[in-house]
Amino acid sequence: MVQQAGRRVVITGLGVVAPNGIGTPAFWEATANGISGIDHIQRFSTDDLPIKVGGAVSDFVATNYIERKLVNRTARSTQFTLAATQEAVQDARLALEEQDMEQVGAVIGCALGGNGYVMQQMQAMFTRGTRAMSAYTAIAALQIANAGQVSIRHNVQGYSKTAIHDVVGGLDALGLAYRAIRRGEAEVIIAGGCDEPIEPTVLIAMAHSDQCALGDDPDMYRPFDRRARGTVLAEGAGICILEDYEHARRRGARMYGEIVGYSQTNDAHGMTVPSACGKHYARAIKLALQEGQIGPQELAYFSADGRALPSSDAGEAEALRLAFGSELERLPVSVPRTCIGHAYSAAGPLDMITALLALQHHTIPPTINCEQLDPTYGLNLVRDQARPTHGSAVLLGGRATGGSNVVLAIKKVGE
Amino acid sequence: MHRRVVITGLGVIAPNGIGKEQFWDACVSGRSGVRRITRFDASSLPVQIAGEVPNFDPVALGVTEKESVYLDRATHFSIASANMALEDAGLLDKLSEEERERTGVYMGSAMAGIDELEQAWLKLTDSGNHPPREAKEQATLIITRMMTHTYATMVAVHHQLYGPCVSLATACAAGGDAIGEAFRAIQEGYVDRVLAGGADSAISAVGINVFAILGALSTRNEEPERASRPYDALRDGFVMAEGAAILLLEERELALARNARIYAEIIGFSSNINAHHMTAPPPDGAPLQRLLQQVLRQAGVKHEELDYINSHGSSTPPNEVAETSAYKALFGERASRIPISSTKSLIGHAQGASSAIEAVATALTLEHQVIHPTINQEQPDPRCDLDYVPNVARHATVNVALTHSSGFGGVNGALVLARPEWVDTHM
């Protein structure tokens, strides 16, 4: 297999809107301490819904970040994106006005689009007539709204995409952005993901999909636990500033870490939850380790997909066994996402932000709610409390409904 | 040293033809696929026309019975197009497991799931009479019918492909983007073959109304076939359409080794974003001009070597003005000597599928050495005065062709295709 040596890609800025913290410092503080943002949903009545809890961002005030006019033209997930982007750009100390904006892009994953906005407008249309629909519906609903609004707001003119891939769209977005900078197609890319699954129609549909745990227990998201019965959904956004290493070095940017691998394989097993077979996922893990030239002993931890369904958890455990063999015993595995729920396309970027901070702070954030870890998985799961680490790399795994396995590899920036 | 990428199979489902022969024949004959809407009762909408795909029988095109029940229309389009492309390339059911580990699926879509979300919402709210709740006797809601990634994923499931699945939703440029990203993935060695293209089927009350409420759609309801008229002075908006197209992209050495028929080599792909407005391009077309310059340079093509442009040509007043400005600014005098045609004049705007369908049309142009017309050219717009191959197809020497698309959010993408014989003498 021929692969290009290319430019190095580093991360120089982080932005977060998450159920357990708005802003990176608050998010890290909560996540490192296992503080959950999953709670009873307040924004609408859940009396007639099969799912009553979720990771909601309950204290988000859009007008803190964008003007009222734009609030009226954007969906919630896009507002999250704009807020997180603002934080990330500032965090990177990136003076955009000094950049060649044709070399700056935006690649943002989003699975469900602005579905909340659409459903409000469907209410208007079907009860008051077709002319009652807001003229902004198309631009608010389409997933391109995220890259589009970021581009308009920050004058971004380069390589820009919207990746859609169930729960791994955010990882795909980061991967596409990584490859684009690597081949020289951009110098800086605002990359990440957002989603707004906490909507009544979505919750009902998800409840029927056998992916989500039903009921009202905020602690029910517990991957690899004997009682695991699915994920709990969350909303939010995670944005990273990806940058060409030389470009970052020249401007004295602080580098959180480096992306060194991105791989994707497919189980092709059908349009259902991740497979109990770990063979293709193991292949993706090995490809990412190879591309990143990472030895297992360098890994601080493996950030798992943690789908919390017995068959999917078994598949993930099998993949880890196939990929790591006897090294698996010593390899810490964690699903810090248990603190916020599964934020769909935001999940991968939030996992990556968590991992970058974990490397910086020499701390593996814990998986919560796993009091009854099933020992047959053979996993060294970091539970309840953070664990210190000297590792210098992290692998992030994600598996989509339908069979895709995506792995992203990150490292501390070498001297 | 980059690997080279060629197109060896084509699959297309369009409002004016299913399969490449029917589609191309209709395009060259100037036959429109735009008609009055039949898929739902559009009488309460200001727009009652669309490019629907008539007589689509998924099972006849290789979609399984089970898939035909559980999956939505655009996914059927995707699987059927993939079947056609593989068959056309002589690879249907012929790839080994190892080869299938190195084969991926890249699909673009703009409106995936809108139709299904609408149906789900109507059911759960009893047409808006109460907040969503589970109905007592409802059928299981299938969330995957509302998800964009289903198209690529189900193509992979149907053909047991174990390589990467990528779905892009860069609005109306999505299909072309998928082809471009697939091109890169093969070039850079991540995969050897990719089924790449786009699909969309959003001809529903909400799908139409979100654009009608913007004033973006033609309301020429009494004369559907004359409604999509890019560059014409009387154009009044685009026509919504559905469809799909998939191209089999293959690493060139593998294609040559198996004596594959090669339609074209992909020699360039580039994309950018306007940073201007969510729907309208800047009138001077500057970002498009920069994009075309970039992609031609990347492809190593001099302006005088470009033989044809398959344009975005959506039939909206601002779009074609911006396009024309971009062509003139880039090519100068030469702009009036490059034939340009818009497939959308024949089939309307199939959203995320359009740029993939247009890539198929461009590949067929290279194969047949015939340029399909832009139809409905009756009254020239003084601001659009280039050669749009009006109304009648034309024989021409086409060695190098460019197809470009734009979308909401301000995204632009462009692909450059060339005849293999030309590439051999110019590399």
Q: What is the pLDDT of residue A1?
A: 43
* Domain-embedded: residue A3: no
- Give the separation between CA B377 and CA B381, rounded to whole angstroms: 10
Note the pLDDT tens digit of each residue in B372-384: 999 999 999 999 9
Residue B140: band (very low, low, confident or very high) from pLDDT cuts 50, 70, 90: low
- Dihedral sign, Cα of residue A222, residue A224, residue A225, residue A229: positive
Mean pLDDT of B58-73: 94
Structure tokens at A190: 């605002």
Task: Tell me, yes or no, whether A184 and A300 share the same domain.
Answer: no
Q: What is the pLDDT of residue B203?
A: 96
Size of interface A-B (CB pairs under 8 A): 267
Q: How many CA atoms lie within 13 A of B147 on its CB side?
A: 33
Please report the residues numbered 133 through 192 in chain A whose beta carbons come closer than 8 angstroms to any beta carbon of chain B.
Answer: 133-135, 137-139, 141-145, 147-149, 151-152, 154-166, 169, 172, 176, 179, 183
Range of the domain at A266: 260-411
Cα–chain-centroid distance for residue B291?
18
Beta carbons within 10 angstroms of residue B399's beta carbon: 21
Q: Give the gap in angstroms from C-alpha B97 to the nearest C-alpha of chain A.
A: 12
Task: Tell me, yes or no, whether A280 and A149 share the same domain.
Answer: no
Task: Tell me, yes or no, whether A199 and A335 share the same domain.
Answer: no
pLDDT at B217 over 70: yes
Beta bridge partners of A194: A237
Mean pLDDT of B21-36: 98
Q: What is the pLDDT of residue B139?
A: 59
Mean pLDDT of A233-257: 97
The closest CB to that of A162, out of B142, B169, B209, belongs to B169
Question: Does residue A96 sit at the B interface (CB-CB below 8 Å)?
Answer: no
Q: Give the gap in angstroms from C-alpha A51 to the nearest C-alpha of chain B.
A: 11
Mean pLDDT of A243-263: 97
Report the CATH number that the domain containing residue A367 is assigned in CATH. 3.40.47.10
pLDDT at A347 over 90: yes
State whether A1 and B120 contact (CB < 8 Å): no
Q: What is the pLDDT of residue B220?
A: 97
pLDDT at A352 over 70: yes
> Cβ contacts of residue A305 below 8 Å, gap of 6+?
A167, A274, A312, A316, A397, A398, A399
* Domain-embedded: residue A355: yes
Q: Which of the listed residues A228, A250, A272 is the one where a domain comes to its end?
A: A250
Task: Tell me, yes or no, whether A197 and A151 share the same domain.
Answer: yes
Note the pLDDT tens digit of each residue in A156-178: 999 999 999 999 999 999 999 99
Domains of chain B plus CATH, in order, are: 5-257 (3.40.47.10), 268-426 (3.40.47.10)
Note the pLDDT tens digit of each residue in A22-75: 999 999 999 999 999 999 999 999 999 999 999 999 999 999 999 999 999 999
Task: Tell me, yes or no, whether A273 and A132 share the same domain.
Answer: no
Position A327, amino acid? E
The closest CB to that of A266, out of B71, B124, B156, belongs to B156
Note the pLDDT tens digit of each residue in B236-270: 999 999 999 999 999 999 999 999 999 999 999 99
pLDDT at A238 over 70: yes
The pTM assigned to this predicted structure is 0.96
Task: Tell me, yes or no, whether A283 and A349 share the same domain.
Answer: yes
* Domain-embedded: residue A255: no
Q: How far lies B155's CA from each of A327, B65, B292, B366, in Å?
A: 36, 15, 32, 27
Strand extents, DSSP E, B153-312: 165-168, 193-200, 243-251, 264-273, 308-310
Please report the residues numbered 316 through 355 in chain B whose beta carbons come closer than 8 angstroms to any beta carbon of chain A.
Answer: none
Residue of B343, B238, B242, B227 lying closest to B40 (CA atoms): B242
Segment among A349-353, B92-96, B276-280, B323-327 with least mean pLDDT = B276-280
B160 contacts in chain A (CB < 8 Å): 268
State whether A152 and B150 contact (CB < 8 Å): no
Note the pLDDT tens digit of each residue in A188-205: 999 999 999 999 999 999
- Give the separation between CA B49 and CA B384, rounded to whole angstroms: 25
Of the residues A179, A201, A281, A407, the best mutation for testing chain B's interface (the one with the most B CB atoms within 10 Å of its CB) is A201
Question: Does residue B190 sit at the A interface (CB-CB below 8 Å)?
Answer: yes
State whether A164 and B154 contact (CB < 8 Å): no
Q: How high is the ipTM of this complex?
A: 0.94
A102 contacts in chain B (CB < 8 Å): 272, 290
The total domain count for chain A is 2
Note the pLDDT tens digit of each residue in B262-280: 999 999 999 999 999 999 8
Segment among A3-17, A35-49, A368-382, B329-343 with least mean pLDDT = A3-17
What residues of B are labeled active site? 172, 312, 349
Q: Which of the listed residues A231, A250, A269 is the one where a domain comes to its end?
A: A250
Q: How far lies B168's CA from each of A165, A202, A369, in Å?
A: 8, 21, 35
pLDDT at A353 over 80: yes
Mean pLDDT of B303-319: 96
pLDDT at B142 over 80: no
Question: Does residue A201 sit at the B interface (CB-CB below 8 Å)?
Answer: yes
Residue of B63, B81, B299 lying closest to B199 (CA atoms): B81
Question: Does residue A402 sit at the B interface (CB-CB below 8 Å)?
Answer: yes
Position A213, amino acid? A
Task: Tell me, yes or no, whether A341 and A240 share the same domain.
Answer: no
Question: Does residue A128 sit at the B interface (CB-CB below 8 Å)?
Answer: no
Structure tokens at A185: 């197609």
Task: Tell me, yes or no, whether A160 and A220 share the same domain.
Answer: yes
Average confidence score pLDDT of chain B: 95
Question: Does residue B280 sit at the A interface (CB-CB below 8 Å)?
Answer: no
Structure tokens at B368: 């047949």
Residue B137: band (very low, low, confident or very high) from pLDDT cuts 50, 70, 90: low
Q: How far lies B387's CA from each of A207, B36, B327, in Å?
A: 55, 30, 11
Q: How far lies A114's CA from each of A76, A138, A348, in Å?
A: 7, 9, 19
State whether A129 and B44 contact (CB < 8 Å): yes
B151 contacts in chain A (CB < 8 Å): none
Question: Does residue B59 sit at the A interface (CB-CB below 8 Å)?
Answer: no
Residue B1: band (very low, low, confident or very high) from pLDDT cuts 50, 70, 90: low
Task: Tell me, yes or no, whether A147 and A215 share the same domain.
Answer: yes
Task: Tell me, yes or no, whether A274 and A183 share the same domain.
Answer: no
Which ranges of B332-418 does DSSP label H, i.e. alpha helix? 344-347, 354-368
Residue of B4, B3, B7 lying closest to B247 (CA atoms): B7
Task: Tell me, yes or no, whether A150 and A272 share the same domain.
Answer: no
pLDDT at B138 over 60: no
Q: What is the pLDDT of residue B260?
A: 98
Q: How far lies B154's CA from each of A171, A248, B80, B414, in Å?
A: 20, 40, 11, 27
Task: Tell me, yes or no, whether A156 and A200 share the same domain.
Answer: yes
Q: Which of the listed residues A250, A272, A296 is the one where a domain comes to its end?
A: A250
Q: What is the pLDDT of residue A415?
A: 53
pLDDT at A2 over 50: no
Cα–chain-centroid distance for residue B196?
11
* Domain-embedded: residue A34: yes
Question: Does residue A49 sit at the B interface (CB-CB below 8 Å)?
Answer: yes
